[in-house]
Amino acid sequence: MAIGSPQQSAGILSFYDAQTNGPKLNPKVVLIIVVAFVVVVLAINHLLYG
């Protein structure tokens, strides 16, 4: 009888290891996009309600 962690027995770790066909994005690009989006939202909020 093999002893494993609950995550392994639930198949969670194999889910994160699965290869996908989606686009490969650099984490820096994602961070820049998120920061730019936040800045745009804050600027629009300031223009409308400021």
User: Where do the structural domains in the chain lie, given as residue ranges?
Assistant: 23-50
**What does the pLDDT read at residue 25?**
87
The pLDDT of residue 5 is above 60? no
Rounded to the nearest integer, the mean pLDDT of the chain is: 80
Pull the structure tokens for residue 39: 């800045």
Residues near 13 by Cβ (< 8 Å), separated by ≥ 6?
A: 7
pLDDT (mean) for 9-37:
80
Rounded CA separation 42/44 (Å): 5
- Predicted TM-score (pTM) of the model is 0.57
Instruction: Please give the C-alpha separations between residue 40 and each of 4, 9, 26, 31, 48, in angstroms, as whole numbers.
Output: 47, 44, 22, 14, 12
